Amino acid sequence: MTATTTFRIGGDLEVRRLGFGAMHLRPDSAEARAACLAVARRAVELGVTLIDTAHMYGWGANEDLLAEALHPYPDGLVIATKAGIRRTSSGEGWRHAGEPADLRAQVDEALLRLRLDRIELLQLHRLDPGVPLADQLGALRELRDEGKVGRIGLSEVTVAELSEARAVVDIASVQNRYNLLDREHEAVLKACEAAGIAFLPWRPVAAGTSGARAEIAAVAKEADATPTQVVLAWLLAHSPVILPIPGTTSIPHLEENVAADAVHLDRDQYDRLRSLRSESDLNGS
């Protein structure tokens, strides 16, 4: 099976389908910071054109790091970020922040941190249950119309929520948890596929546990690839709208991930992997 290697987000923003998730680049020392900067720069050297970040990743520090590593950005590089969550000193350490004024402030903050005039893909990190969806997306639509945002995406939504959102504004992407061994959001993926919406699976390699499955290890041996490469190649073959964004703080691991779009699974290998039961099935949940 041969998977396409590029996708046009929103119908016009072309990126390499295999991107990079920057979430783990949160250094706690000068040495670690240098290593994280090197990983981000190496991703671009390897041809990655889509990097995913968020305000929540270090409460702005991740966006700052990407700007330090990569600005001025090369032509064609898309830095996608997220808004809609604020830090707190209690509970889980964060709260929903979907009030229109707060979303506007968060976008302005992200523009400053990323040193951008326009965020090509701005994703609502979580829907705020305390704010009407039309108000949240209406604020982002206004920011898009003003030129501060190019395209609008969602994260962790259901099919019904996606449908409701699309009635308010064009949705260019959805970012839900999804991988070979966790396909809870298959229906959302299919809805995205039907509408031509990019689907960015987070945790795309099953939290690094893929190699423990004998079936995956067998296909990896046949394909002369690693288990991680095989599960990423399966995602690319599974749907043309999937844009995996694996993350890492290791350059060798990064290089392994990025090489996955050169791994080609035949129909039998793809089907054998597709027939695997998910981790939730195996745990009886």
Pairing of β 119-124 and β 85-87: unpaired
- What pLDDT does 285 receive? 37
For residue 53, the 8-state DSSP code is -
73 counts as catalytic: no
- What pLDDT does 208 receive? 56
- What pLDDT does 63 receive? 98
Give mean pLDDT, residues 57-76. Answer: 97
Banded pLDDT at 277 (limits 50, 70, 90): confident
What pLDDT, in 10s, does the model give residues 197-217? 999 999 999 755 666 789 999
- Distance between first and last Cα of the chain: 32
Here the tokens at position 120 are 């090509």
Q: Which domains does the chain have, with CATH numbers?
A: 6-276 (3.20.20.100)
In which residue are the tokens 């995996």 written?
Answer: 244
Question: Which among 57, 73, 178, 270 is annotated as catalytic?
Answer: 57
Residue of 86, 84, 32 whose CA lies nearest to 59: 86
